[in-house]
Chains A and B, each alone.
Chain A
Amino acid sequence: MTDTPMIAVRSVNKWFGAFHVLKDVDLVVQRGQKVVVCGPSGSGKSTLIRCINRLEEHDEGEIIVDGIRLDESLEHIAAIRREVGMVFQQFNLFPHLTVLENCVLAQVRARKTPRADAEARAMQYLARVRIPEQASKYPGQLSGGQQQRVAIARSLCMEPKVMLFDEPTSALDPEMIKEVLDVMTDLAQSGMTMICVTHEMGFARKVADLMVFMDHGRVVESSPPAEFFAAPRSDRTRQFLDQILSH
């Protein structure tokens, strides 16, 4: 099992109505690998990672997560979701629950963890994202950066093997981006397998093992960061990098 890739996406195609969002996408993520996916908006990068935990359904091709094939089977979907955590651009914390309850809910309901254990684990991860003191507050009382860190802790409480990040810093004020990236960097260094859709190229250089550039639903380039930033093979990648690195 340990030799098989953590995630294997093979010739995946997806349409939104008549719009072809993903075109023959291939992506293999090894255990412990950190992949950063970038590309212009509408290029399909969010859709790709949303397919990995079945928030979107792919129409063709195959996705295999930790040896489990993602198909119609509800058991397979449930099994995959147990292994895959996700962090969203808009945090998507549950506004009616406290920070602690946000972290406890799924542990108790989906994992049947006893409440005391679930709370202890929640506090442990809240400490890890450096906001244990906010546990009794509601999400609406926190800043964007704090909310996103809670969202990361909430996901980690389920002890996933893979974390998916869907533009985790795009909705944040500039001064809060760093605190979230710091947490993500820590996580990367702890050996978590990660796929991050982000335009934070500083973060990408620091943690990525593999850079993936997507455009118009295709993977245009996928290479190690050193190569990706220094000598991109495709003109489209170079053009994109010039745009976002120019300022």
Chain B
Amino acid sequence: MMTQSRPEEGRAPPLRARGAFFGWLDIVLLAAALVVCGYFVWRTNVQLHYRWNWSVIWPWVARFEDKEGFVAGPILVGLAVTLRLAVWGILLATMIGVVMGFARTSRRLFFRLVASGYVMLIRNIPPLVFVFVFVFFITSQVLPALGVSERVKAWSPATQWVVEALFGPVARLENFLVGLICLAVFTGAYVTEIVRAGLQSVPRAQIEAGESLGLSAFDVRRYVVFPQALKNVVPALSNQFIQMIKDSSLVSLVSVQELAFMAQDIQTSTRRVFEVLLFVGALYFIICWSLSLLFARLEHRNQS
């Protein structure tokens, strides 16, 4: 608990105590890992008769046209959809998770039942099944009934421009929302459990201290419990959000034209299966890794 720095006396710690130790065992293990990797590279080159042709990829990423300059190809378009799914998905799933997490720890039986029913239902069916069931039976019935795209089309061009910047082309808006809601509802169940664990990790004594100061039950939750809970669950949340970004490829099944959807499309057109897969995989890696770096910084800032 004591993070105060005091003027130090005494001698410097020995090398081992500083934890920076790289011995012969590490060298052996590293060498072994390199050998295994080398073996796989050799096998793929010798045994797998596949002619790599990476140049096929680039026109699908972006083309240069004389009149328009660079035009985004399907891969960039898909990437944009995936990024939008990621950002809005994280926001929406967090909102669902926080509300449901509080409901799950509520004193009212009704709230607890609703939240635990939601979590139970979603956690115990495969995401693939969930996506189909949810989309065909729920969102694709509700959204057209609400006439979302007609309403948006009636808006002024300026507003439509904002909507497009935030959610992508209006023509595909309904489809995007279907995928987004599906992803958020699905991820929200896991976030709910994380939030619940976080809320329960805050000692009861903190609530008592807040109540004895005369804070209302809501204020105790809002200002005392929640900030501490959030701090405790940052690592788990980052994990779940990264998972969600990878899961976002599932909504390609209901023809949301995100990265994985485009990849499939390009594979069938070019038959360059490995190049496309590896390239798209690398893009997912970059998104997820950036997010984990962001969360690592957040965690670090939390601790100091």
Chain A residue nearest to B212 (CB atoms) is A86
Q: What residues on B are CB-neighbors of A54 within 8 Å? A: 211
Q: Does A154 contact B (CB under 8 A)?
A: yes
Asked if B227 contacts A109 (CB within 8 A), the reply is no
Asked if A92 contacts B3 (CB within 8 A), the reply is no
Cβ distance B219 to chain A, nearest Cβ, rounded Å = 5
Asked if B227 contacts A96 (CB within 8 A), the reply is yes
Quick check: which of A76-84, A184-192, A208-216 contacts chain B, the rest being far away? A76-84
Asked if A110 contacts B212 (CB within 8 A), the reply is no
Cβ distance A71 to chain B, nearest Cβ, rounded Å = 17
Q: Does A127 contact B (CB under 8 A)?
A: no
Q: Does A158 contact B (CB under 8 A)?
A: yes
Give the total of B residues in contact with A, Cβ under 8 Å: 21
Asked if A109 contacts B215 (CB within 8 A), the reply is yes
Chain B residue nearest to A140 (CB atoms) is B1
Q: Does B228 contact A (CB under 8 A)?
A: yes
Complex-state Cα separation, A173 to B136, whole angstroms: 65
21 A-B Cβ contacts within 8 A? A55-B208, A81-B213, A81-B214, A82-B214, A86-B212, A88-B209, A92-B209, A94-B206, A94-B209, A94-B210, A105-B213, A105-B215, A105-B223, A106-B214, A106-B215, A109-B215, A110-B215, A110-B216, A111-B214, A154-B213, A158-B214
Please report B residues at the A interface, Cβ cutoff 8 Å: 1-4, 205-206, 208-216, 219, 223-224, 227-228, 231
Q: What residues on A are CB-neighbors of B212 within 8 Å? A: 53, 55, 81, 84-86, 155
Further contacts, 14 of them, CB under 8 A, given A88-B208, A109-B215: A53-B211, A53-B212, A81-B211, A82-B214, A84-B212, A86-B209, A92-B206, A92-B209, A94-B228, A96-B228, A105-B213, A140-B1, A158-B213, A158-B214
Residue among A85, A92, A110, A154 with most chain B CB within 10 A: A92
Give the total of A residues in contact with B, Cβ under 8 Å: 26
Asked if B223 contacts A109 (CB within 8 A), the reply is yes
Q: Does A234 contact B (CB under 8 A)?
A: no
Asked if B205 contacts A92 (CB within 8 A), the reply is yes
Q: What residues on B are CB-neighbors of A92 within 8 Å? A: 205-206, 208-209
Chain A residue nearest to B219 (CB atoms) is A109
Residue among A78, A90, A109, A110 with most chain B CB within 10 A: A109
Cβ distance B205 to chain A, nearest Cβ, rounded Å = 5
